[in-house]
Structure 1
């Protein structure tokens, strides 16, 4: 009989997510955006914290972030702006979602 895998600690989870985080041009995310799988994360939040909470299925925390407009869908206007400048975003995948964050100066939403 095999032992079930242990649940990683929050620090272990964040370390794993850190290894999967990278910068990616917006143009390379168009397919995921078209499928509605891109989640915008405000620059005021820690991208890894958001990814860890999504992995933990923390619905209450996400509802708060969404109500505060710190996490949510990428609006068509923002998508167009990112497309026009081919913004390079920080991204991490928490399947099926791609969490993205624009850390350019002045972008806190």
Structure 2
């Protein structure tokens, strides 16, 4: 967090506490249900979850249109299954937001 950022909201802190490392095998069922959102590495996973929870449609639409947030596609799912990378996830019902960390 930089000095220019606003202080964390209670919701951000709550979501941060619910964010965890997870294996692809545990996420496959959410992918199958079409509720798994892939968050680009250059975004803050928890900030994305917070925007979704707050129904910030303008910001979320911006991320969706730029491809920074998208439903996990079959190619991405196959890649995750093959590589089993380090993934972090947070639930913002009905969505599960997932991000690969290197």
Q: Same fold (TM over 0.5)?
A: yes
Structure 2 residue aligned with 1:44, among 12, 18, 42? 42
The offset of 1:10, in angstroms, is 5.6
SS at match of 2:43: coil
RMSD value, Cα: 1.3
Q: Structure 1 runs of 4+ off > 2 angstroms?
A: none
TM-score normalised over the length of structure 1: 0.83
Residues 9-53 of structure 1: CA distance to partner in whole angstroms, max 9, x if unpaired? 961111100110000001111111000010000011001110110
What is the aligned length? Answer: 96
Larger radius of gyration: 1
Q: Distance in 2 between matches of 1:21 and 1:32?
A: 16
The answer for unaligned runs of 5 or more in structure 1 is 1-8, 105-109
Counterpart in 2 of 1:23?
Answer: 21
Runs of 5+ consecutive residues of structure 2 not aligned to the other structure: 1-6
How many Å apart are 1:88 and its aligned residue?
A: 2.6
Tell me the TM-score normalised to structure 2 length.
0.89
Q: Residues of 2 paired with 1:75 and 1:35: CA distance?
A: 12
Pair 1:65 & 2:63 matched = yes
* Aligned partner of residue 40 in structure 1, secondary structure: strand
SS in 2 for 1:39: strand
1:81 counterpart = 2:93? no
